[in-house]
Structure 1
Amino acid sequence: MRVRSALALILALAGAAAAEPAQIGPRPFHLVDTMKPGPLQDRLKACGADRPYVAKQFSISHRGAPLQFPEHTREGVLAAARMGAGIIECDVTFTRDRQLVCRHAQCDLHTTTDILARPELAAKCTAPFTPADPATGRKASAKCCTSDLTLDEFKTLKPKMDAADPEATTLGAYMNATPRWRTDLYVDGATLMSHQEYIALVRSLGRKFTPELKAPEVPMPFEGTYTQDRYAQQLIDAYREAGIPPEDVFPQSFQLRDVLYWLAKEPAFGRQAVFLDDRDETAPGFDPMRPETWNPGMEALRAQGVRILAPPLWMLVTTDAQNRIVPSPYARAARAAGLDLIAWSLERSGPLKGGGGGYYRSVRPAIDRDGDALTLLDVLHGEVGVRGVFSDWPATTTFYANCVGAE
């Protein structure tokens, strides 16, 4: 009876958390104010700050809320949930003792934590800090991996905003390189998370999960026994052991082999697996505007069982003769093949004045102000038909989803 009562309380608390109004804050309205005048701006202005906003699965938290909080921290996840992200991400990698933790990359501890300032742990790094040498042109560098540490050691690290200065000649300058459009105001007190802690936290918040199995940066099998398949299986096992329903989990990977493994070995979870497409960086000659460069193509992906495809923002859009943002050939072909689409990552590029950076490269002629992020978002939703968008500041996607009725 006690077990049933406790379970009922947990479910009630999760439901209450999911039903709480989202805290939108001023940023979405600032973006609306900076939009180009027109019907879309008028429509979004009509939403207003006084209406209730609720969590939406269209709003996907990218690494928490890293526009303001260190990524993959408890505090970032809490912020994302408060801003109405219906799905929250944990990039998953492994420690030396094969425990799963939330980090964007296996070997990013030198840019995302204080490890280099901790001599006893810095000594365990794959490559120590080397300062830049202006005389030779050598860049500053280091390489510290989760697989260099045990879980207990990892948990002693303090997170920082993801940044490093390759021109730095001192360790302090190398570490203190946060871009001006982010902030260090919320770094103190932030806490790293294991994958297990992320599952418990997101469940308590009544949100859904999107764990990304990061590509290993060490030879596999790791230490001769830990294979890629064991790694992929361990991720799924964590949700089963925690009693999380498969329909609440969207496992992701940039490696098609992982998606196919889940489809074959864990079909209940594999049905919602997300194939993250970065072939623009990994496949020579790949061009989202030229179907003949896609290998495999959209029909082939669908035939293998892939249901959800997630490319970067720019691959889903292009501009027409009037410099209006329109769906790309890639987007049209994916939808024609029956693939659902998710895009990444809004508000990752910093200020959009002057074209918006890499995430906007295909629509640069249409981008000259921060409000253009909402214009792009509207095309992704209304014309491309994406089911969700990752954002570094989920309040923006939550605001938009509530305004236009996206789920």
Structure 2
Amino acid sequence: MLLSRRAALLAIVLMLGAVPATADDIVLPREAQIGPRPFYLVDKMKDGPLKRTLSQCTGPFHKTDFSIGHRGAALQFPEHSREAYLAAARMGAGVIECDVTFTKDRQLVCRHSQCDLHATTNILAVPELAAKCTQPFSPADPASGRKASAKCCTSDITLAEFKRLTAKMDGFNPDAKTPEEFQNGTPRWRTDLYANSGTVMTHDESIALIKSLGAKFTPELKAPEVPMPFDGDYTQERYATQMIAAYKAAGIPPADVFAQSFNLADIIYWAKTEPEFAKQAVYLEERYEKQGLDPNKPETWKPSMEELKAAGVAILGPPIYAMLALNDKGEIVPSAYAKAAKAAGLDLIGWSLERDGPLNKGGGFYHKSVKAAIDRDGDTLTVLDVLAKQVGVRGMFSDWPATTTFYANCVGMK
């Protein structure tokens, strides 16, 4: 009887003494694969020395710790999915993020927010799980002007139930009349091309995967959206300890972990209880919401940079706009905030490149301090150059790590 093509190929492999790859084996390319987007951005830049330098850069490109995969590769892949992490690694991200939150049975999983399952997964299409949501789906009512809504949290379901979900692109349709319509809300400038089978990840699974990809880790302890202590005795401190303990159990060196939190108390707690991990913990800038942070008004960023340093903060993680300003000539330059942080001895890691969508109209939140100087997609690289060379950030979160990998390689950064 004739062998099938698959069986014949397998027989040849075995005769040659090789072991065929299994479905779970991950083979990364020897060099980072950055695709066409970075070159598109170069083409759209204003003429000048930076454009000339970048336009002559053709690789090869290699992994770099300057390139941090924000939620994986969230521009085109479902955030915090296995597929997004693989894409980030293939694009040369040397550091990959898992935003950490907890389930009803206190297990850690990767989600940007504890209560975003209605926007980032298919939970509303799984009736028995949708019924457990904090706020079930409510359809839009055009007559009253009421928008469609839902609120589904990881703490509403167990780990086993979480693993039944499929990750999708972040977004929802506020005008939806049905759960199916509600879940069809991907922004037009993103894509659903890679979103039909996103694999949700537990925290432990993310550690194992990212380790296998040869990358470093930047877990963010997300602020709980349920009262703490949760379910009686699950305190913020136990939650913070649990996250770090996962890296210790997996044998991950503290030098490979950049733990993050918007809660200064978490950073201080780690400084007291896990000093080796705290050496490069990242205090994410929360004052942009609480104090209306203005990058050129020190009174809007209290505590001061010196006080943060004294409290044990080593790395500060602000949004892009906080580190930038315009000078009298309308040029993008470091802000007073950025200068003060560096003067106080704080390292900076910025977030998040490629998150504002098309920049032809000046961008949104991430570019609001320099909006007048932004008028084309190529300004993504102009902004990145100022952040790298003038502000001196040690790394950049990006929704599309190919962009940061490309830039770092082209200008000789590690």
Q: TM-score range by the shorter chain?
A: over 0.9
Residue in 2 that maps onto 1:389: 396
Alignment of 1:138-287 (within 5 A): 138-283=146-291, 285-287=292-294
From 41, 66, 80, give the equivalent of 1:31. 41
User: Matched residues in 1 for 2:184 and 2:301: separation?
Assistant: 40
1:293 CA displacement: 2.2
1:370 correspondence with 2:389: no
Aligned match for 2:304, one of 282, 290, 297 = 297
1:264 match: secondary structure? helix
The 2-side partners of 1:76 and 1:328 are apart by 32
Q: Determine if contact 1:18/1:55 at 8 Å carries over to the other structure.
A: no
Residue 231 of structure 1 and its aligned partner are, at CA, apart by: 0.2
2:317 aligned with 1:310, yes or no? yes
Which SS does the other structure have where 1:292 is aligned? Answer: helix
Q: Which residue of the partner structure matches residue 15 of structure 2?
A: none
CA-CA distance at 1:17 after TM superposition: 7.4
- Note the C-alpha offset of 1:234: 0.1
Local SS of the residue matching 1:309: strand
Q: For residues 31 and 386 of structure 1, what CA distance do their matches in structure 2 show?
A: 21
Tell which deviates more after alignment, 163-172 or 24-33: 163-172
Correspondence list, 1:5-84, <5 A = 20-48=30-58, 51-84=59-92
CA offset digits 1:262-316 (Å, max 9, x no partner)? 1100000011100000211122x43221012221010000011101000100000
* Structure 1 residues 19 and 130: CA distance shift in structure 2, 3 A: closer
Deviations 1:57-89 (A, max 9, x none): 000000011111100000110000000000000
Secondary structure of the 1:362 match is coil
Deviations 1:324-372, CA, capped at 9 Å, x for gaps: 1000000000000000000000001110011111110000011011000
Contact 1:18 1:206 in 2 (8 A): no
| Cα distance in 2 between the residues matched to 1:321 and 1:150 | 55
TM-score (norm 2): 0.92
Say which SS state the counterpart of residue 295 (structure 2) adopts: coil
1:373 offset after TM fit, Å? Answer: 0.3
Which of the residues 292, 295, 298 maps onto 1:288?
Answer: 295
* Equivalent position of 1:332 in the other structure: 339
Tell me which structure has the larger Cα radius of gyration. Answer: 2
- Equivalent residues of 1:17, 1:206 under 8 A apart: no
* Seq. identity, %: 67
Amino acid in the other structure paired with 1:322: K
Where does residue 347 of structure 1 map in the other structure?
A: 354
The one-letter code matched in structure 1 to 2:155 is S
Q: Residue 399 of structure 1 corresponds to which residue in structure 2?
A: 406
| Partner deviation per Cα, 1:235-279 (whole Å, 9 max, x = no partner) | 000000000000000000000011111110000001110000021
Shift of 1:19: 8.7
Which amino acid counterpart does residue 360 of structure 2 have in structure 1? K
Alignment check: 8 A CA contact 2:325 2:335 kept: yes
Is the CA contact 2:67–2:405 (under 8 Å) kept in the aligned structure 1?
yes
Letter paired with 1:39: P
| 3-state SS, counterpart of residue 166 of structure 1 | coil
Q: Is the contact between residue 28 and residue 90 of structure 2 (CA under 8 Å) also seen in structure 1?
A: no
Please say if residues 54 and 402 of structure 1, whose CA atoms lie closer than 8 Å, have aligned partners that are also in contact: yes
Structure 2 unaligned segments of length 5 or more: list them: 1-25
Residue 329 of structure 2 corresponds to residue 322 of structure 1: yes
Counterpart of 2:296, as a letter, is M
Report what 2:7 is aligned to: none
- What code does the residue aligned with 1:67 have? L
What is aligned with 1:104? 112
SS in 1 for 2:370: helix
Deviation string 1:100-132 (CA, Å, 9 cap, x unpaired) is 000000000000011011110001000100111
CA RMSD of aligned residues (A): 1.2
CA drift at 1:170: 2.5
Which deviates the most, 131-140 or 149-158?
131-140
Deviations 1:210-235 (A, max 9, x none): 00000000000001110000000000
In structure 1, list runs of 5 or more residues that go unmatched. 1-15
Cα distance in structure 2, aligned partners of 1:341 and 1:19 = 30
Verify: 1:115 aligned to 2:126, yes or no.
no
Q: Which amino acid aligns with 1:292?
A: E
Aligned counterparts of 1:171 and 1:151: Cα–Cα separation in 2: 23
Q: Is the 8 A contact 1:19 1:54 kept in 2?
A: no
Tell me if the contact between 1:299 and 1:337 (Cα under 8 Å) persists in the aligned partners.
Answer: yes
Q: Give how far 1:166 is off.
A: 1.6
User: Which amino acid in structure 1 is aligned with residue 47 of structure 2?
Assistant: P
Counterpart residue identity of residue 93, structure 1: T
